[in-house]
């Protein structure tokens, strides 16, 4: 109760106020309040540091975290709720309930057992995964941290930490919550943190405490700290934070640089003192830990339609039976007791001829229960199991997708989309770090209108090679050079720039490189030993360039940058200069520039700015037209060479101008609402009237194998779009270099760099600019679409490519033009979008996904690619140089773009074909089994009499036919991985969905009907003339058991016929399933003495009828499939069947030569996997090759785009030619 009578302090004055901005005058007001129980404002929270009692009424979240889905009380209800969200499970629940009623012809066990087994397996898997999460949570929650209590540091577990506590964090330990940085053992109140757990970036970042709190380092001093923090409510934005610290009646603005996020670790600092701001699930990292938006594969959605088709089939079967039952009942069958009596057995009243409608309705319910096996209850569990093993054992362990240099294997972050990888038609790719290495090297530059740098890029070599030009290289860029600096020009190197006519501009250029950045130096302060920690490789390359030009950045504090300058006054002189950093206007995707305001030792105030050329050019002062024109030509020259460009500019500031602006800047930093927006607005005020210094050109080389990968994917029928923020010239030349565009293609270029648009921009009327650009884009789209359609009408027209920039794309994505853009894009083989924003990347992806209904894949490596990755059907992240944001948002992660070949053409294609077989086989075996019961209904007066014993029906799906189909889903392989990549055209079958069309389903359904008729009529007809050893005719359970045996044997053998390759696992699972049936029936028929199945199997097996039927029925049933498969393979083969025939005598498996390069520098686990991969293994035996395929010519003709129809009358001639060749 002490909180009620606590004397008021300076922080109490604003307790009733809920302003989003606080001014120093506001803090002096005193307001009477009742205790501390007033509600917090919805837009911000108030935290009292070092005062648990004051924070108690607010009830902040605790610091204990839980990533589990369930707890002891919620596991069963929540787990069951999750399972019964599936239609099939909900259906079987209803059937199970219905089977307990008197109208059910089957015992409840028939439906309860399979449902229970499926739920038990699924819930067991959920429980195991959740238990592992719980153990991990317990470990994290019990980590220890030092908390200030009674003027000393006490060690407590993380889970007991509370908002407002003062903590001490030591070097190399993790932050237990989101903390407000107060003090550090380092000078100037700075510390270094590593954010690898947050974004994957290993470079250190600097954080600085407010100068007002630097002294709170010891427990005695820290206990005196009684500050009030007003900040935003918890949110998931990792890179933003707005708040104010009120201490000693002063309001101090807080920024993201004052916040230390949970999961980061302290580096290069003995210890720090901080206050807890957000705890537990309210920390930013935990609020980002939500799952990637749930995605369902296209195949799974089509499976839903198939299940609906089965429901319709079930309804039709029940309707036929119910109508038959209503027609059949008649008083002439008086001996059946149809009317029934209340005193005897009222159940017979369900067949009372006086109430045919009731009979109709009750029969429908009866037959729904009887035919329930038509819906495959174990299908979803089997598919989940298959997908999980495919992901964890095949994709994750594939050495072909292991990157040795970075020690990075492929990673399937979800198993829901394996088969989707086999149907991708459009790939949307980022450029930097995805197609290129993201290892930046300073290559060329332009200073004051002069170009420097003599190197030749890979793109220039490729252009020269295409044009047949031989280059004379003065400088070989492959010679040894410092990482990040691949520049050579005698006019600038080793102080030679002092002799240039633009000496002063050179100084400004080099100083801008050395000062305008956020790089942190590490190690010894010598040029040879220092290393730079940069947020991006570009920044690092620019600072390294400054060092090589004689402006060596070697030390940084929150307020100063130290540069060792050489040759400034005279050649050979070296002097250390300290520049005071007054303001840093940081880079973001909206601003596309970064600025620094600094003060020279002589008092000169300068703003240095670097950014994209279009952004800088908009902010240049008048009177620089010649320099702007020349520099633009240089930018285009650099872009055509595939280089990344930045423009550099500066502005001298007067003290009065700066002071006036700085007041607005401080005010914007202090606001709690829309702080980022207001800071951008204030930055616009000073980033004007800039003086252009020059521009830089950085080379980012292509990744290894990218051109070959793109060429292979194009042959596979996949269209690749590049979405990049680079200049149009750079993007086009990168597209040339990686075989995305070639000289044979017709290129449509839609650019905003036209005379009409430039004239409108020069006039400055924004409304007119928007109208002009939209009109021009509409005109260009219409023209290009008409030309494209003309080319497509000609048989030998060229392939088409579209190049469009971001400004035009913004208007092309308008609803009135989107359809035209989509039609044009879909007619092009390659599309390059340059100067696009992250949002535009996602919009383009969504346009194709939703507008064209095509399966899309997005691949990128940076945070700016996250929205694009999540917008596509499949998202692939590259674990590269830009952190792990893309990987964390992706469905699959790989280390190099070239690994897409294996991911799509091998794993994706195999997964698609396997799952198609699994689904269609489930459909076939369930329909076949149910139809035998359906035919029996016609001979029972449509009464719903069961043909099989309850336990037979219960275990059919979950025991006797479950394992073989899983083996097919895991091990079936039509062609080897090498052949899949050798013949990428095979992938087109997945794009066309050849293996899960309604025609394929109808074929399986036809043979289900045929085989069910064979089972039922062959067995029942032959049983009329057969007797058991005692001379008695076979009864219902005898015939039912015989039919069931034939069904189990036949459907398992039919699966083997459908396999492309057979391994020992196929034999074990198929033979084991059949053997398991016999073992079960022997035991069941012996134990169940009270039921009609007693001794049935023993009686059957003592007759010749059993063995003749078991031999002949499967042969007759499978004969139709055998003939159909032979005819299909002979006259209308799939592409993979042709490849099988071509390579039928070649052994499969991975050669030692293929794995030789992988075998070095592996971890022990990888070395073991490599050793296992090289062990002698069983060669898969291809089956179904009884007929040679005559379709070779048509297959290879399709590869080169020529239509060559097959001729049935050539079959015999070709076959005889092959035999003649073999004899020779």
Task: Work out the angle between the directed axes of helices 109-141 and 379-389 (0-180°, nearest 10).
Answer: 40
Q: How far from 1040 is each of 104, 105, 949, 953, 1028, CA to CA, in Å?
A: 19, 15, 8, 11, 15
DSSP β-ladder status, 830-834 and 800-805: parallel
Q: In what order do the strands lie in the sheet with 205-208?
A: 205-208, 190-194, 265-267
What's the length of the chain?
Answer: 1224
Q: What SS3 state is found at 434?
A: coil
Q: Are the beta carbons of 449 and 631 closer than 8 angstroms?
A: yes
Calculate the CA 998 to chain-centre distance.
29
Q: What SS3 state is found at 180?
A: strand
Convert 1058-1097 to b/e letters by CB count within 10 Å (16 or more is b): bbbbbbebbeebbeebbebbeebbeebbeeeeeeebbebb
Q: Quick one: which of 318, 328, 326, 319 has its CA closest to 369?
A: 318
Tokens of 649: 């500019």
689 secondary structure, DSSP code: S
- Which is catalytic among the residues 430, 613, 865, 974? 430
Residue 703 burial by Cβ neighbours in a 10 Å radius (0-12, 13-18, 19+): buried
Q: Which residues pair with 178 in a beta bridge?
A: 278
Calculate the CA 939 to chain-centre distance.
55
Q: Are the beta carbons of 1034 and 1027 closer than 8 angstroms?
A: yes
Q: How far from 524 is each of 44, 79, 530, 555, CA to CA, in Å?
A: 44, 58, 5, 10
Calculate the CA 120 to chain-centre distance.
30
Strands (E) located in 171-312: 178-184, 190-194, 205-208, 228-232, 243-247, 250-254, 259-260, 265-267, 271-278
How many Å apart are CA 924 and CA 918, to the nearest integer? 10
Q: How far from 438 is each of 429, 458, 840, 867, 1096, CA to CA, in Å?
A: 14, 15, 22, 20, 73
Q: Apex CA 982: angle with CA 980 and CA 987, to 5°?
A: 45
Residue 297 burial by Cβ neighbours in a 10 Å radius (0-12, 13-18, 19+): buried
- CA-CA-CA-CA torsion for 588, 590, 594, 595, nearest 10 degrees? -120
How many Å apart are CA 1071 and CA 1074, to the nearest integer? 5
> How many Cβ atoms are within 10 Å of 1134's Cβ, its own excluded?
19
Q: Quick one: which of 497, 448, 500 has its CA closest to 650?
A: 448
Tokens of 1083: 């035991």
Query: Locate tokens 């700016």: which residue?
Result: 864
Q: How far from 1186 is each of 429, 1129, 1137, CA to CA, in Å?
A: 44, 9, 12
Active site residue 430: yes
Phi and psi dihedrals of 581, rounded to 5?
-90, 115
352, HSE (Cβ side, Cα atoms, 13 Å): 13
Name the helix (H) or strand (E) containing 520.
strand 520-522
Q: How far from 705 is each of 146, 215, 434, 437, CA to CA, in Å?
A: 51, 56, 12, 11
Q: What SS3 state is found at 935?
A: helix
How many Å apart are CA 32 and CA 49, to the nearest integer? 21
Catalytic residues, by residue number, are 430
């Amino acid at each position: 109760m002490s909180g009620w009578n606590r004397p008021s302090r300076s922080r109490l004055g604003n307790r009733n106020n809920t302003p989003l901005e606080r001014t120093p005058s506001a803090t002096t007001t005193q307001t009477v309040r009742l205790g501390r129980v007033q509600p917090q404002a919805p837009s911000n929270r108030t935290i009292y540091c070092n005062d648990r009692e004051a924070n108690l009424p607010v009830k902040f979240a605790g610091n204990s975290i839980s990533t589990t889905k369930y707890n002891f009380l919620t596991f069963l209800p929540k787990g069951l709720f999750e399972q019964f969200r599936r239609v099939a499970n909900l259906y079987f629940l209803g059937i199970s309930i219905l089977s307990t009623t008197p109208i059910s012809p089957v015992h409840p066990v028939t439906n309860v057992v399979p449902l229970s087994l499926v739920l038990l397996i699924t819930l067991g898997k959920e429980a195991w995964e959740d238990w592992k999460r719980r153990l991990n949570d317990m470990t994290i929650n019990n980590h220890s941290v030092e908390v200030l209590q009674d003027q000393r540091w006490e060690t407590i577990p993380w889970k007991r930490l509370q908002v407002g506590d003062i903590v001490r964090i030591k070097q190399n330990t993790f932050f237990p919550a989101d903390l407000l940085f107060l003090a550090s053992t380092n000078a100037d109140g700075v510390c270094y943190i590593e954010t690898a757990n947050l974004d994957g970036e290993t470079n250190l970042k600097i954080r600085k405490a407010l100068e007002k709190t630097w002294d709170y380092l010891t427990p005695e001093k820290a206990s005196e700290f009684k500050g009030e923090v007003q900040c935003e409510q918890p949110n998931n934005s990792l890179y933003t934070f707005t708040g104010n610290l009120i201490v000693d009646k002063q309001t101090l603005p807080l920024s993201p640089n004052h916040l230390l996020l949970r999961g980061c670790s302290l580096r290069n600092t003995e210890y720090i003192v901080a206050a807890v701001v957000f705890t537990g699930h309210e920390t930013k990292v935990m609020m980002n830990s939500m799952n990637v938006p749930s995605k369902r594969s296209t195949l799974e959605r089509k499976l839903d339609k198939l299940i609906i088709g089965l429901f319709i089939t079930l309804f039709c079967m029940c309707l036929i039976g119910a109508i038959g039952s209503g027609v059949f009942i008649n008083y002439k069958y008086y001996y059946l007791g149809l009317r029934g009596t209340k005193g005897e057995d009222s159940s017979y009243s369900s067949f009372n001829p006086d109430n045919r409608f009731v009979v109709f309705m009750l029969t429908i319910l009866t037959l729904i229960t009887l035919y329930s096996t038509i819906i495959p209850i174990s299908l979803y569990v089997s598919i989940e199991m298959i997908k999980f093993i495919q992901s964890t054992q095949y994709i994750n362990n594939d050495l072909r997708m292991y990157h040795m240099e970075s020690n990075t294997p492929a990673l399937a972050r979800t198993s829901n989309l394996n088969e989707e990888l086999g149907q991708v038609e459009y790939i949307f790719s980022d450029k930097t770090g995805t197609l290129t290495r993201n290892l930046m090297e300073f290559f060329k530059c332009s200073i004051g209108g002069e170009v420097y740098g003599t190197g030749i890029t890979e793109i220039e070599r490729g252009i020269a090679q295409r044009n047949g030009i031989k280059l004379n290289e003065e400088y070989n860029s492959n010679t040894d050079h410092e990482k990040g600096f691949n520049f050579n020009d005698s006019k600038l190197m080793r102080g030679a720039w002092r002799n240039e006519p633009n000496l002063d501009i050179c100084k400004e250029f080099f100083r801008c490189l050395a000062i305008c950045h956020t790089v942190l130096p590490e190690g010894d302060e010598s040029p040879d030993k220092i290393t730079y920690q940069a947020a991006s490789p570009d920044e690092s390359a620019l600072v390294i360039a400054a060092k090589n030009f004689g402006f060596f950045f070697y030390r940084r504090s929150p307020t100063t940058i130290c540069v060792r300058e050489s040759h400034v006054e005279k050649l050979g002189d070296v002097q250390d200069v300290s520049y005071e950093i007054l303001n840093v206007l940081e880079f973001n995707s909206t601003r596309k520039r970064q600025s620094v305001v600094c003060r020279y030792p002589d008092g000169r105030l300068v703003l240095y700015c670097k950014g994209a050329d279009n952004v800088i050019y908009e902010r240049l002062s008048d009177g620089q037209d010649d320099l702007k024109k020349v520099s633009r030509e240089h930018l285009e020259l650099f872009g055509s060479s595939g280089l990344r460009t930045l423009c550099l500019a500066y502005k001298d500031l007067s003290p009065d101008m700066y002071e006036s602006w700085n007041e607005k800047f401080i005010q914007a930093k202090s606001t709690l609402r829309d702080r980022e927006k207001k800071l951008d607005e204030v930055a616009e005020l000073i980033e004007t009237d800039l003086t252009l210094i020059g521009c830089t050109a950085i080379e980012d080389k292509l990744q290894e194998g990218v051109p070959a990968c793109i060429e292979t994917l194009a042959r596979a029928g996949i269209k690749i779009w590049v979405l990049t923020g680079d200049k149009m010239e750079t993007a086009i030349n990168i597209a040339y270099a990686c075989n995305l565009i070639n000289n044979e293609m017709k290129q449509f270029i839609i650019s905003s760099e036209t005379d009409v648009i430039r004239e409108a921009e020069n006039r400055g009327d924004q409304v007119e600019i928007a109208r002009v650009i939209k009109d021009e884009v509409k005109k260009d789209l219409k023209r290009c679409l008409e030309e494209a359609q003309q080319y497509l009408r000609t048989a030998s027209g060229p392939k088409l490519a579209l190049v469009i920039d971001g400004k035009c794309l913004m208007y092309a994505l308008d609803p009135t033009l989107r359809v035209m853009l989509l039609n044009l894009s879909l007619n092009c083989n390659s599309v390059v979008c340059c100067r696009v924003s992250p949002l535009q990347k996602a919009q383009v992806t969504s346009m194709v996904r939703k507008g064209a209904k095509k399966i899309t894949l997005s691949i990128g490596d940076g945070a700016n690619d996250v929205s694009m990755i999540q917008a596509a059907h499949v998202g692939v992240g590259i674990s590269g140089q830009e952190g792990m944001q893309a990987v964390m948002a992706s469905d699959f992660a790989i280390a190099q773009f070239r690994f897409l070949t294996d991911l799509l053409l091998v794993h994706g294609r195999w997964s698609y074909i396997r799952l198609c077989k699994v689904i269609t086989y489930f459909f076939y075996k369930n329909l076949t089994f149910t139809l035998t019961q359906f035919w029996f209904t016609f001979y029972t007066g449509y009464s719903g009499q069961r043909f099989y014993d309850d336990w037979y029906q219960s275990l059919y799906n979950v025991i006797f036919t479950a394992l073989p189909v899983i083996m097919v889903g895991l091990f079936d392989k039509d062609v080897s991985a090498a052949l899949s990549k050798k013949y990428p055209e095979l992938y087109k079958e997945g794009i066309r969905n050849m293996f899960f069309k309604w025609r394929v389903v109808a074929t399986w359904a036809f043979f289900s009907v045929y085989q069910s008729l064979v089972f039922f009529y062959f067995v029942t007809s032959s049983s009329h003339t057969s007797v058991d050893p005692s001379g008695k005719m076979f009864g219902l359970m005898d015939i039912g058991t015989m039919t069931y045996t034939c069904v189990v044997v036949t459907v398992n053998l039919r699966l083997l016929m459908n396999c492309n390759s057979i391994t020992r696992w196929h034999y074990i699972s198929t033979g084991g399933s059949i053997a398991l049936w016999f073992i079960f029936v022997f035991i069941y028929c012996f134990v169940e003495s009270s039921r009609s199945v007693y001794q049935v199997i023993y009686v059957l097996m003592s007759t010749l009828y059993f063995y003749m039927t078991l031999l002949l029925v499967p042969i007759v049933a499978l004969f139709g499939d055998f003939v159909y498969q032979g005819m299909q393979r002979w006259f209308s083969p799939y592409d993979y069947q042709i490849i099988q025939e071509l390579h039928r005598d070649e052994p499969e498996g991975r050669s030692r030569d293929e794995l030789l390069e992988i075998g070095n520098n592996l971890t022990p686990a990888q070395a073991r996997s490599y050793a296992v991969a090289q062990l002698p293994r069983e060669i898969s035996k291809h089956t179904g090759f009884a007929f040679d395929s005559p379709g070779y010519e048509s297959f290879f003709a399709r590869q080169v785009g020529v239509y060559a129809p097959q001729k049935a009358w050539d079959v015999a001639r070709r076959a005889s030619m092959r035999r003649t060749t073999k004899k020779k």
